[in-house]
Amino acid sequence: MRGQTGIGQQGSVASEVRGMVTAGADRIWTYADFAGLEMGAVSQTLSRLAKEGIIRRVRKGVYYRPRQTVIGESQVSSAALGSKLLASGARPTGLTAAQTLGLTTQVPSEPSFAISRNNAPSNLPGIRVKVRRPATSEQIDIREAATLELLRDRGETSEFSSEETIWRLAKMLKEPSVFDRLAEAAVNEPPRVRAILGALGQEAGVHDTSLERLRKSLNKLSRINFGHLKSLRFAKEWQSK
């Protein structure tokens, strides 16, 4: 099919693009998702789908296929959009991380993300990008990546009390394998991330063997600022100031 030319090729591309887009909802589409197809035909088909109301144009070359909810169409989240545009490995950071975790109702005017690359892309107006983060494992999802960033900020971007923030984070860590994935990813994070994660894991009742690697990674002489999360019950055991 992809070897056809002219009108036949355009019709084939249009059919393939339409089939891909309508197969599921709550997804962001960019031209990169249609690699190997003729880009002129892809662009025309996406524009046509937008006019038909099947997808929504988010920005140039970026479209969103909403899903229906009890309160209307779903909206594309800034976290999902930033991660899509920055490709895999981008982490929500700052208020965007807190929003991803449901710890703030504030909507940042500029969604912010962190990447492992040394230089930020120059073609992403309206998105703030921090660089030189440790490479994030593909095993962790966007919510877990946001947790690492929230711990870097010592929970300061949460709009909830220290106790409520801790309760919500500990609840998440009780979900199967979440703590283990975060502990693995935290090995290359600053000491405060490892220490606060350890104290949260202990709060959540994580088994001691899962905490040991984090505990051994800390310099026993260091004292760590836990910021908004200083009321953790086991903070002192994890070298909180």
* DSSP codes, 49-65: HHHTTSSEEEETTEEEE
Q: What is the pTM of this model?
A: 0.71
Residue among 195, 188, 182 nearest 230 (CA): 195
pLDDT of residue 20: 95
Interior angle at CA 141, CA 138 and CA 142, nearest 5:
120
pLDDT higher at 11 or 37: 37
Structural domains in the chain plus CATH codes: 6-73 (1.10.10.10), 78-238 (no CATH)
The average pLDDT across 216-229 equals 96
CA distances from 196 to 40, 211, 216 (A): 50, 11, 14
pLDDT tens for 38-84 read: 999 999 999 999 999 999 998 888 899 999 888 888 988 776 777 77
